[in-house]
Each structure stands twice: as C-alpha cells, then as structure tokens.
Amino acid sequence: MSTLKPNLLDEDYLKSNTPIPENVSWDNIEWSVLEAQDMKIEHKTGTELLDEIYALVNAKTLYSSGNTKYATLVDEYVKPALKWSALYFASMHLWAKPTNQTVAKGTSDYQIPLDNGEFIYWRNTYRKWMNERLDRLYNFLMANTDTYPSFLNGNTDADDILPDDQDDWGIVFDED
C-alpha cells in the first residue's frame, strides 16, 4: 500500500519536548522527523500499521470517535519515540553544517561550540533515549496485538517492513 507519509510531529511539539531551541528553523529539522518515521518508527510498527496511522492523519480523523486506540498509540508511544529519533538524526546537522566547500561548525558571539567528546556524549544519550522509547513502543504493540491486528498481520508486499525488536544499529562512539 502506498500512502502519503505525513509528518507525525509538528514543529511546536518537537521544540517543546526536546532541547531544540525556538530559533532553529523548521526547514533544518523537519527532514529528520520524516527520516526517523521511515527508519525507526516503521521498523517497530511495521508498514501496514504505520500506513493505517498515515491514512487517519491524512483524512484528519485520527482523533475522531472510533479511532481512540490509534490516537493513544500515536500520542503515548509513537510521538515520544519519534521526538528522540528525530533529535538523534538532526543532532549532527545541528552541530555541523554541510557547505559547498566543507562540513563546518559555526559559532556566534554568545555560544561556545561543543567539542567532539561533548557532542559524542549527547548524541549517544539521545540514541539511548531513542532506543528506550522505541522498545516501549514495540513492547506496547506486542502486548496489544488484538487491538492492533495489522501490527503482526499483513506486511505482505515486497517493500513492506515487518516489525522487529532489534536495538538501534549504527556506531556508538567512545566519549574519549
């Protein structure tokens, strides 16, 4: 099933619930929400269940009566996992900016940039928080398979992603 993938977090939610300050342009971080939905949330919910959520969001019926189970899933489990996943993806680009000549970190008169060790510490912390929330989402769905039957059923198309309980992939850098 091909469904338009709406952004499940808006700018206000992300900035109110993470350390991202108000002055950071949404254009610089919105991509990280969409990437996190594709690379993290879909791997915990499976394609079919996430497509059901997308369809409700697109139809503006997520919070309609009869859809409270989906609203609860999104508000209590998806959004908390998604905010830390988005911050994890965005953190590198909030710290350093690609330019046409190099990748550089900027400074201002009022800020001191993080050194590499501090940056790695915070990125690993965001990764830990992301994985805790992703595990919570997956465990909730495993405990409620009768409520969300498409979680483990369906996902039969060649490009569908099956839910998995694997922890985050990738490199964890030493803080030294």
Is the pLDDT at 118 greater than 90? The verdict is: no
Rounded to 5 degrees, φ, ψ at 121 are: -55, -50
Which tens digit of pLDDT belongs to each residue from 121-154? 888 898 999 999 999 999 999 999 999 998 887 6
Q: What is the pTM of this model?
A: 0.82
Tokens of 125: 């912390």
pLDDT mean across residues, the chain: 83
Q: Is 170 contained in some domain?
A: no
Q: Is 1 contained in some domain?
A: no
Q: Is 168 contained in some domain?
A: no
Alpha-carbon gap, residue 11 to 80, rounded angstroms: 14
Residue 109 contacts by C-beta under 8 Å, 6 or more apart in sequence? Answer: none
Q: What is the mean pLDDT of residues 37-65?
A: 94
Tokens of 160: 């569908």
**Chain position carrying tokens 């369906």:** 154
Which tens digit of pLDDT belongs to each residue from 15-45? 999 988 888 889 888 999 999 999 999 999 9
Q: Is 5 contained in some domain?
A: no
Q: Given pLDDT bands bounded at 50, 70 and 90, which one contains residue 1?
A: very low
Q: Is 137 contained in some domain?
A: yes
Q: Given pLDDT bands bounded at 50, 70 and 90, which one contains residue 176?
A: very low
**Chain position carrying tokens 């079919």:** 48
Residue 127 contacts by C-beta under 8 Å, 6 or more apart in sequence? Answer: 88, 168, 170, 172
Number of domains in the chain: 1
Tokens of 71: 């609203």
Domain coverage including residue 19: 11-151
Q: Is 107 contained in some domain?
A: yes
The H or E element containing residue 94 is helix 79-95
Is the pLDDT at 171 greater than 80? The verdict is: no
Report pLDDT for 100: 56
